[in-house]
Structure 1
Amino acid sequence: ARTAWDEIPLAREMDTLHLDVGSGPLADAVGVSMGNPHAVFFVDDAEAVDLE
């Protein structure tokens, strides 16, 4: 997986380890590319996150 902003790719240079994508428990994403762009979220308890 690649984490360089221009290899994901993103529109501009930014910290791909802390992408501000909103608010709440899923506000801080990690941008990665595994052939196509992904936003990955790390949480303490995945069962506690309401995805609906």
Structure 2
Amino acid sequence: MLQQHPHRDPPVQLDEAYGLDNPVGKRPAKTATFLERVIVDMIESADRWRPLLT
């Protein structure tokens, strides 16, 4: 369990802090979308190769 520092504000989501209409907020969203596509592609590739390797 994470402990909060007593003098710090609670963490804020990026979309709350910067908004997705702001370039700073869009960058993490674009990165997340890219990484999601990479992961889906890797899973699909593994599914295609699995029968050939068994």
TM-score w.r.t. length of structure 1: 0.20
Please identify which structure carries the higher helix content.
Answer: 2
TM-score w.r.t. length of structure 2: 0.20
Larger RCO: Structure 1 or Structure 2 (Cα < 8 Å, ≥ 6 residues apart)? 1
Please identify which structure carries the higher strand content.
Answer: 1
Larger radius of gyration: 2
